[in-house]
Structures are given as structure tokens and as C-alpha cells.
Amino acid sequence: MSDAGRPARVIVGLTGASGAVYGVRLLQRLKALGAQTHLVCTPAGLLNVHHELGLDREALSALAHQSHGIGEVGACIASGSFTVDAMVIAPCSVKTLAAVAHGFGDNLLTRAADVTLKERRRLVMMVRETPFNLAHLRNMTAVTEMGGIIFPPLPAFYHRPASIDELVADTVERAIELLALGVAAPKRWNGL
């Protein structure tokens, strides 16, 4: 629940980086938590969702409360006057990272990220690339200096996960915790 008494409102962006499962799981988990989600998916993101998970545009859109086309720059989430609590880009390609780092709001996804930053709201970017080159690192630094959170989906192993599903689930919970909605349940380190 947001401070305004309405359900938490979260923008979820998916790009063409590998790791579509993170975006899909975030949509599923946020819905289960009662959050209102606004989905924006790049064409390469949709291609990746289909390749990695076998989902088409309709199935992906059904996971969100509202789905917006990448070219719909007049959508509600393109304006700071439309209140959202947070935004997450999962997975986030280095192309999208660069666009956000340089304020290049050329589509709805990068415009929504720009609005999130200018309104001083939470922006979590699950950057999926390795190894990083200097441009990637500088772009991550720029986004961090603007208030964004760079969160590459690196798995934790201290809870001894038995499956990839467990690794993904815990990473998704950690991302939700970073959205500061007060509803996440990641596995905690309690010491040895």
C-alpha cells in the first residue's frame, strides 16, 4: 500500500537483455502483493520473452494491470504528474542503461525512467551484461549519481538454493525490497 492509501503503483520495463524471467516474475510477484503495475517492453524485450519463456505479447501484457506500447509517449507514465511509487527495469540492457544515463528519452521506457529520476522516485535497473566495459561502468555511475539503483541480478548462494527457480525468486524479492514498498521477503543472512 502506498502512502496515499492506494495500492503501490510500479512501472516495470523489460528490455532485450537476457533474463526475461526477472521481469515476468516481478510482474507476477507485484500482482500477488496487490501492487498496480504498468508494463513497458521494448521490441527486443518482447523477442527475448518469447525466446526464453515462450510467452507472446498478449500473455506478457496479461501479467500487468496496464500495458503500454514503447512508442506511446503520451501514456500516463510519461508524465511526472502521474504518481508512481517506483520503477524497475528487469532485465535492463546496456543500451537502455546508456539512454537513461544520458537523459535520452526517445521512447516510453526511457522517458518513464527519466521522469522517475526527475521526480526523485525509486528507479531500480537490473543491468544484464558481463563483463562491463568502461562505458557501461561510467553509465552506471551516472545513473547512481542521479539517484538510480544499479542492481545486476547476481544470485546469492548462502541460503543454499536447490534450483534456478529459487535463485530467481530470491533475486526478485531483493529487487522488490529495493523498490521500498515494504512488502519484500528475501532470504536473510543470519550469520554463521
Which whole-number Å values give the CA distances from 134 to 58, 128, 141, 152, in the listed order? Answer: 38, 15, 10, 16
Alpha carbons 14 and 7: distance in angstroms, whole number:
22
Residues constituting the chain: 192
Alpha carbons 13 and 92: distance in angstroms, whole number:
8
17 annotated as belonging to a binding site for a ligand: yes
54 annotated as belonging to a binding site for a ligand: no
Q: Which residue has the cell 550469520?
A: 191
173 close to 184: Cβ distance less than 8 angstroms = yes
174 annotated as belonging to a binding site for a ligand: yes
What is the enclosing helix (H) or strand (E) of 38? strand 36-41
123 close to 117: Cβ distance less than 8 angstroms = yes
Which whole-number Å values give the CA distances from 116 to 57, 68, 77, 112, 173, in the listed order? Answer: 25, 16, 9, 6, 21
42 annotated as belonging to a binding site for a ligand: yes
Q: What angle do CA 77, 82, 84 make, to 5 degrees?
A: 80
22 annotated as belonging to a binding site for a ligand: no
116 annotated as belonging to a binding site for a ligand: no
148 annotated as belonging to a binding site for a ligand: no
44 annotated as belonging to a binding site for a ligand: no
- Read off the amino acid at residue 15: T
Q: Annotated binding residues for FMN, as ranges? A: 16-18, 42, 93-96, 128
Indicate the annotated binding residues. 16-18, 42, 93-96, 128, 158, 174
Which parts are annotated binding residues for dimethylallyl phosphate? 158, 174
